[in-house]
Amino acid sequence: MQLFLSGRAGRLEARLWESRDGGEARAAAVFCHPHPLFGGTMHSTVCFRAARALQEAGLAVLRFNFRGAGLSEGEHDGAGGEEDDLEVALDWMAERYPGLALWAGGTSFGARCAAAYTARTRRPERIVLVALPVTAFDCSAVEELRTAGLVCQGEADEFGNLAELEAHHPNLYGGLELAEVEGADHFFEGRIEELTALVRGTARRWLTESG
Straight-line distance from the first to the last Cα atom of the chain, in angstroms, rounded to the nearest whole number: 28
Residue 8 Cα distances to 1, 11, 74, 82, angstroms: 22, 8, 9, 10
pLDDT-based confidence at residue 209 (cuts at 50, 70, 90) = very high
DSSP 23-68: S--SEEEEEE-S-GGGT--TTSHHHHHHHHHHHHHTEEEEEEPPTT
The amino acid at 63:
R
Write down the architecture of domain 2-210 according to CATH: 3-Layer(aba) Sandwich (3.40)
Q: What is the mean pLDDT of residues 138-147?
A: 97
Tell me the C-alpha distance between 34 and 186, whole Å. Answer: 11
Section 129-153 average pLDDT: 97
Check if the beta carbon of residue 104 is closer than 8 Å to that of residue 127.
yes
In angstroms, the CA 188 to CA 145 distance is 25
Structural domain boundaries in the chain: 2-210
Question: According to the model, what pLDDT value does residue 211 have?
Answer: 73
pLDDT tens sequence across 14-69: 999 998 766 799 999 999 999 999 999 999 999 999 999 999 999 999 999 999 99
pTM (2 d.p.) = 0.97
Beta strand 27-32 pairing with 10-17: unpaired
pLDDT tens digits for 145-184? 999 999 999 999 999 999 999 999 999 999 999 999 999 9
Sheet architecture: strand order including 149-154: 2-7, 10-17, 59-64, 27-32, 102-107, 126-130, 149-154, 176-181
| Backbone φ and ψ of 56, nearest 5° | -65, -25
Given a contact cutoff of 8 angstroms between Cβ atoms, the answer to whether 16 and 165 are in contact is no
The mean pLDDT of the chain is 97
